[in-house]
Every structure is written in C-alpha cells, then in structure tokens.
C-alpha cells in the first residue's frame, strides 16, 4: 500500500499504461508498415521503463532496488536508441538504407552501450528516500545521461536534415513534433538536475519527461496521423458509385497542363469512383498523396531511388513501362495517372521519356484503358511539348469535365 510521497511512483505506472495503449493503437491502425513497428517498439520500451521505475521506487530492500535500478538504466538508454531509430523513418514510412539493412547491428551496438551504466552501478549508488528508492549521483548515472544526450543529439540532427530536404508542410510539422518529443526527456533531466541543487525536495523520478514525450507523440498521431496512414494499397478494386460516371472516352491518353496536378487527380478520383481500377505513378510519397486525395483503394507506385516494395527508380524507364503495361493488361479498362513526368525528365532524356509515354499510349488503346498524364508546361521544351500535344488529348482550363 502506497502512502505519502510514495504515490509519486504512480506517475511511472501511468506512463507505462499510456505508452502501451498508444503503441497498440498505432500498430492496429497500420500493422504492416515498418515505421509503425518501430513506433510500437519505442512505446513498449516506455512501458517496460515505466513499470521498472515503479517497482524500483517501491522495492522491498536494497538488493532488489539495485537490480531494478540496473535494469532501469539499461532500458533508458535503449529507449533513446529506439527513438533515434524511429527518427530514421521520417518524414515518411521508409527508413534510411543503412538502418533498414543493418537494424540488428544497430540495436546490438545500442544494447552494448546500455550495458555500461547498468554494470557500473553499485549497490551504494542506490538510496532510500521519502519518495521511495532512487539512484544518487554516480559514474553510472553520468554515463547513462551522456548516452541519452548522445542519442538525442543524433536523432535531432537526423530530423533537422530531413526537415531541410522536405518541402511538404504536414511532413515538416510531423518532424518538428517528433524532434520536440525526442528532446523532452533530456530537457526534463537537465531542469531536474538544476533544481535538485536547490533546497527543493524533489522526487527521484525521471518518468515525467518520458510521459510528456509520449503525450506529444499522441498529439502527432491524433492530429497529424503519424505512422497511422496505410501506405500500401489494400489490394481491393474501387467500388462503383451511383453518384459518379465516367467522363472520358477510354482507349485514349489525356494530358493535363498544370503545375500541381489538382485537376488530373480530380479526374482520376472520378473515374475510380465510377468503377475503374486505378494506379498512380508519382514522385510524391504515398503518405502525402493519400492525405491529399481519395486514393485508399488505388495502387501507388512511388518514383524513388531507394529500393523497396511499390517503388521504381525514376531512371529505370523500362521497369516502369513494364509495370504499368502489366497493370493495364491485368485490369482491362483501368485508369493510370502519371504524375511524375517532371521527375522522369530530371533522370532521363526527353527522347526516352517520350518513347515510354508513346508506348503507354499504345497500351491503353489495346486494353481500353485511360492514361492521364499531368505536366507543368514550363519544365519541358517547346519541341517536346509539341510532340506530346500532337498525340495526347490536351485537357486544360475549367469546364473540361474534371470538376468533382
């Protein structure tokens, strides 16, 4: 039975319950994504850390308190290492190649560093206070703090780099929120250490810092759908809607001359709502596209140099062409939206890009499909644009049947 100041240990237990619930919620929302699993790992470590801290503060004797304190220091370092790993998945669901390919080596290194403060902690470093058991200032505690600071700075540096390289507003907001959450535990620890030098009687508990971090993460999940957006298509074809009707003749290719592709996506959404099976090819990440448009039941091929499922290197035109052609032949009467022409032109010659588009134009004729291409006319030469306009049906301006 807890009494007096010992009730402070319930903060650690509340952290454990909150982290477990948040982790399970995100995992249920998108169980297949690697980023979701990384987030769940962080929450599980927060759960273990909260439970360990609670039992440590209420340990029966010094021997038990020392054993639990060693486990707590080990888990604290693991938590920050896992937060650094989670940072590699932003701004989207894909992690950097090194972390994806060698995740086991990374966590082996993190575990080895986490063992250092745990093994260095001595029984004399653990003392009982009016709040329960706590760890006094010692070499083990300083090493633990240094490792936590190291992983925090590494995570913030990585997040600052992807923030600089990302222009999407929502993605940047997610990055900032995760950076704040990652930094909160170390900021709380520094403030606690400063206040501890005063005459204030503070409870020897670090869980509030991690609790605040978990709450910030929860805000990102609720408000910005952090790691809960399903990136891959669900394998189901679009459902016909009596409210939508096909507005274009199939067996043709359309060219939308616009900078942002809004009308092209509106046309694509309408055709899918009318019953067509669709696929989008874009240089924008599927997360971003699914936030902006109704693409829940459409496949998305991401033009990205990093290898992975549902991704094609923009320089590999032959692979992209075969992928789209196979899709058209598997789903007769399908609609294809090529939104990444600018990306293709940046990685290939104009002649090769035009050859691929002409080949796809032939494919939609054979399969009675619909090819929608969106292009900013300012990025292509007048000669190239003239060649596309000659063979594609140009859709420009309002009143073209694309208003949804």
At 96-121, the pLDDT tens digits run: 556 767 889 999 999 999 999 999 99
Just give the CATH number of 4-224.
Answer: 1.20.1070.10
How large a percentage of the chain has pLDDT more than 70? 87
Q: pLDDT by residue (tens digit) across 351-361?
A: 888 899 999 99
Per-residue pLDDT for 196 more than 70?
Answer: yes
Per-residue pLDDT for 60 more than 90?
Answer: yes
Q: pLDDT by residue (tens digit) across 218-254?
A: 999 988 778 775 543 434 333 333 344 557 889 999 9
pLDDT of residue 212: 96
**Window from 2-11, 154-163, 317-326, 349-358 with minimum mean pLDDT:** 2-11
Phi first, then psi, for residue 250 (nearest 5°) are: -80, 160
Average pLDDT, the chain: 84
Per-residue confidence at 91, pLDDT binned at 50, 70, 90? low
**Window from 33-47, 99-113, 283-297, 369-383 with minimum mean pLDDT:** 283-297
Cβ neighbours, 10 Å, residue 361: 17
333: helix, strand or coil: coil
**Window from 146-150, 156-160, 330-334 with minimum mean pLDDT:** 330-334
- CA–centroid distance for 399 within its chain: 38
Which whole number is the average pLDDT over 272-279? 88
Per-residue confidence at 307, pLDDT binned at 50, 70, 90? low
pLDDT of residue 380: 76
Tokens standing for 243? 């409210």
303: helix, strand or coil: strand
pLDDT of residue 403: 38
Domain parsing of the chain, residue ranges: 4-224, 252-395
pLDDT of residue 77: 96
pLDDT of residue 167: 64
- Tell me the pTM: 0.65
Q: What is the DSSP code string of 36-74?
A: HHHHHHHHHHHHHHHHHHHHHHT-SSHHHHHHHHHHHHH
Strand partners, 129: 132
pLDDT of residue 100: 66
Q: Please state which of the four CATH numbers 2.40.50.140, 3.40.50.300, 3.30.2130.10, 3.30.565.10 is assigned to the domain occupying 252-395.
A: 3.40.50.300
| Dihedral angle, C-alpha 13, 18, 21, 23, nearest 10 ° | -110
Per-residue pLDDT for 316 more than 90?
Answer: no
Helix axes 103-120, 62-87, angle to 10 degrees: 150
Per-residue pLDDT for 94 more than 70?
Answer: no
Residue bearing the bigger pLDDT, 170 or 63: 63
């Amino acid at each position: 039975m807890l009494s007096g100041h010992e009730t402070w240990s319930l903060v650690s237990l509340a952290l454990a319950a909150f982290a477990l619930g948040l982790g399970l919620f995100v995992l249920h929302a998108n169980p297949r994504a690697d980023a979701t699993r990384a987030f769940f790992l962080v929450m599980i470590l927060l759960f273990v850390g909260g439970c360990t801290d609670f039992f440590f503060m209420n340990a029966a004797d010094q021997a038990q308190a020392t054993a639990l304190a060693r486990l707590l220091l080990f888990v604290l370092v693991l938590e920050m290492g896992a937060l650094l790993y989670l940072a590699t998945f932003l701004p989207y669901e894909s992690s950097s190649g090194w972390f994806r390919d060698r995740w086991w080596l990374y966590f082996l290194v993190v575990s080895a560093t986490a063992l250092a403060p745990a093994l260095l902690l001595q029984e004399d470093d653990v003392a009982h206070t009016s709040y329960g058991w706590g760890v006094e200032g010692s070499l083990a505690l300083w090493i633990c703090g240094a490792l936590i600071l190291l992983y925090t700075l590494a995570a913030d540096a990585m997040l600052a780099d992807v923030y600089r390289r990302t222009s999407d507003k929502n993605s940047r907001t997610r990055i900032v929120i995760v950076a704040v959450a990652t930094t909160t535990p170390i900021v709380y620890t520094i403030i606690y250490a400063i206040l501890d030098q005063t005459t204030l009687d503070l409870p020897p508990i670090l869980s509030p810092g991690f609790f605040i971090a978990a709450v910030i993460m929860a805000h990102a999940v609720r408000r910005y759908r952090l790691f809960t957006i399903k990136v891959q298509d669900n394998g189901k074809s679009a459902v016909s809607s009596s409210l939508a009707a096909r507005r274009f003749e199939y067996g043709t290719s359309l060219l939308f001359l616009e900078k942002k592709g809004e009308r092209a996506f509106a046309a694509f959404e309408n055709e899918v709502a009318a019953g067509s099976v669709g696929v989008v090819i874009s240089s924008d990440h599927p997360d971003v596209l699914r936030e902006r448009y109704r693409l829940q039941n459409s496949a998305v091929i991401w033009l990205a140099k990093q290898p992975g499922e549902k991704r094609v290197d923009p320089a590999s035109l032959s692979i992209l062409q075969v992928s789209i052609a196979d899709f058209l032949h598997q789903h007769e009467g399908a609609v294809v939206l090529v939104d990444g022409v600018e990306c293709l032109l940046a990685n290939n010659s104009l002649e090769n890009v035009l050859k691929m588009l002409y080949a796809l134009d032939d494919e939609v004729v054979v399969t009675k499909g619909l090819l929608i291409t969106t292009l900013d006319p300012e990025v292509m030469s007048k000669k190239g644009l003239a060649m596309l306009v000659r063979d594609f049906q140009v859709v420009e301006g309002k009143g073209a049947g694309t208003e949804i």
